[in-house]
Structure 1
């Protein structure tokens, strides 16, 4: 509708010229109609003027509405919307972190869990330590891909208190008396609940991607294996020992070198050390 005045004005302009031309021709021919044609041209001209005026009025720019000041209620709504958006972003971040955590392998989670214990001195990486570095207590010794298997602790005179070459995993008692050499990771038995494990065997299985491990190792009875009678089968010359405690407090209850099969009975709280052999039943 804004262009309606312009359309009328243009049509009137055309008709004005037409009536003027017809009027001039009538005047030349003396047909007596020239006066009428000039009048029609005048009317068309007036209509043209009116059309342009109407078009000009409709084409005037409209004023931009000035936004009213934000009221307290509107401000509260805006704040609520911003808070809601922040909450959504936080929830999305939580979901994203949960998805990343779900994608981690059990091995990755175990490694991260053990590393987190380093700061609280509940776990210690492979390496050499001096008196006071490692608090006294019982620790799981766990080897992993690329690590060694040797552990020893010396007294203040640098005499060996106890040492052992672990086939896979085991337990040691740290006296805090002198230098310690550990080629595997040491994890305090107190920290087992934090890692959601029951013993050294379970940590070893997760770190090395094995299940139902029954091969050579240093088992804690009642934790890694239940109490009872076991048949061991050697590959080469096997060794089995029943001990009253971990390395460092390892009084031998019974031990034997064997080739083939060997039967042993163990009780809760004892330790079963096996080398070059496995539990067959």
Structure 2
């Protein structure tokens, strides 16, 4: 394996040496979801249709792969440790999270595959900008080990190393990586009962840009039942004959989604993801919002509040707690 590590390290070094120039990074802007509220001083509204933004794809052409890799290499950071506040590094980690299921499922070295090239490029970025002993360099070494095991055709070591890589990516990103066996519905529009079964789904955002879903009575989304922009996850129940649109996110049947990271802003089903009881919630940036729904359709509100600082909320089994710009005090 050490020979493979040396070869891969040299390849990364040569790739670095061949990259020069500067790029300008732009981020698609997303409309802020309008929360429904029962507070007397707040207007009662429903979520507004999403303002369209450039959608991000997880399938890249060869030219796009090269451009992305070169862009990653040209990014710079003053942090010696990997931090979520560094937007460039955050983007790299989110890319690694998005591609992990495909990367971990590889059975042989094939440098024509998106997932292999993306992991190679991200490893190059991490190796270039993070000092030994930092989180970023530790992640670089994990990826390098996995690449070497794959190259050397050592499937057992590849699988074992990827388990550690998965745990590290989840810890650093705050995102859940689903097992490849879980049923996933990717971006697109689905007719419930035909393309996707009726039922309850957990939706996961795919990247640093917020995920978005829309549930409508018609295929043109003119008669919207509910919709939402979300940063980590959402939960929704869909019924036969409805139209279900997913953008920058994917859906998983709730029984296959497993545990959720309850330290995040998101939607949590009480009795499944959180026990019933009283919770203290704290605003992330001055003002936060929470909402308690009695059903998975997001239309039967038990309580909600726009608050500053902190607040308390009590929830019961079967209810849904939605957190926006705030988190539960653990």
The one of 218, 226, 243 aligned to 1:179: 243
2:226 equivalent in structure 1: 162
- Pairs aligned (count): 165
How far is 1:236 from its partner? 2.6
1:72 equivalent in structure 2: none
Question: Structure 1's 265 and 172: CA in aligned 2 closer, same or farther, altered over 3 A?
Answer: same
The one of 113, 126, 130 aligned to 2:191: 130
How far is 1:264 from its partner? 0.6
Deviations 1:25-67 (A, max 9, x none): xxxxxxxxxxxxxxxxxxxxxxxxxxxxxxxxxxxxxxxxxxx
* C-alpha distance in 2 between matches for 1:249 and 1:257: 17
Structure 1 stretches of 4+ with a deviation exceeding 3 A read 107-112
How far is 1:237 from its partner? 2.2
Question: Structure 1's 230 and 190: CA in aligned 2 closer, same or farther, altered over 3 A?
Answer: closer
Trace 1:140-151 onto structure 2 (pairs within 5 A): 140-146=202-208, 148-151=210-213
What TM-score comes out, normalization by structure 2 length?
0.45
Is the helix fraction higher in 1 or 2?
1
* C-alpha distance in 2 between matches for 1:276 and 1:103: 35
RMSD, aligned α-carbons: 2.7
Structure 2, gaps ≥5 residues long: 1-152, 171-175
Trace 1:111-260 onto structure 2 (pairs within 5 A): 113-114=179-180, 116-117=181-182, 122-131=183-192, 132-146=194-208, 148-156=210-218, 158=221, 159-183=223-247, 184-192=249-257, 197=258, 199=259, 201-202=260-261, 213-234=262-283, 235-246=285-296, 248-260=297-309
CA contact (8 A) 2:277 2:315 kept: yes
Q: Is 1:99 the counterpart of 2:133 in the alignment?
A: no
How far is 1:244 from its partner? 1.1
Query: Which one has a bigger Cα radius of gyration?
Result: 1
